[in-house]
Amino acid sequence: MAGGRDFDGYSLMIGRFQPLHNGHMEVIRKCASESERLTIGIGSAQYSHARENPFTAGERYLMIHDALEAEGMDNFFIVPIEDLNRYSVWVSQVESLSPPFNTVYSNNPLTRRLFSEAGYRIRDSPLYNRDVYSGTAVRAEMARGEGWRALVPAAVANVIDEIDGAERIREISRAD
C-alpha cells in the first residue's frame, strides 16, 4: 500500500472481561506475541451493575490496561463495544469502533462465522484451565470470599479493590 500500512499482523480479540482473569491473560499473551498490534474489544460495553456484567466498560478498560502494562506489553489497543443484538450488523459495528485488523482470534462459533463471512482470517484461541479460569467462576468466588484473588492478575485485583468491586458483586447478587 503506497506510503501506508497494510495492517497485516493487526488482530482482534473480544471478550466481556467481567473481570479480566488469568485465562484471558494467557490468550492475550499468545495473541500479542503473534501480532504486530492486538485490539482487545470489550464486549457488552453498555452493561454494568448486573450479576453477569458487574463492571462498567471504563472499569474493565482500566483492569485490562493496568494488567497489560504490568507485563510490559505496549502493542495493544482497547476498544469498548456495545452489543447491538443484531448479528447481521455486528461485524460492521466492530469495524466502526476498532482500529483496522485482519485477523480475529476466537473460539466462539458465531464470532468465527460472522467474521469469516466478512473475509477476516480466523485463528484459534486455546482455552487455558477453563474449569478454573472463567468470568463466571471469578464472580462466584467474589460473592463468596477472597478466593478470587488467585484467579486474576494482581493489577486487576488492585482495580477491583479501588472500586470496592467485591462488595458490589455481593450486594447485587443478594436477593431482593
Phi, psi (5° rounding) for residue 163? -100, 10
Asked if 47 touches ligand ATP (CB under 6 A), the answer is no
**Pick 10 or 53: Cβ nearer ligand ATP:** 53
Asked if 11 touches ligand ATP (CB under 6 A), the answer is no
d(CA 140, CA 23): 16
The contacts of residue 135 (CB under 8 Å, 6+ apart) are 16, 17, 18, 19, 21
Asked if 127 touches ligand ATP (CB under 6 A), the answer is yes
Asked if 17 touches ligand ATP (CB under 6 A), the answer is yes
Q: Which of 71, 74, 90, 84 lies closest to 40, judged by CA?
A: 74
| Least Cβ distance, residue 42 to ligand ATP (angstroms) | 9
Cβ atoms 90, 84 nearer than 8 A: yes
Out of 133, 141, 153, 165, name the contact with ligand ATP by CB under 6 A: 133
Using the rule CB under 6 A, give the single segment among 54-62, 123-131, 147-155, 165-173 that binds ligand ATP: 123-131
Out of 23, 41, 54, 165, name the contact with ligand ATP by CB under 6 A: 23
Binding to ligand ATP (CB under 6 A) within 98-117 occurs at 106-108
- Residues near ligand ATP (CB under 6 A), total: 20
Give the binding site for ligand ATP (CB under 6 A): 15-18, 23-24, 26-27, 106-108, 125, 127-130, 133-136
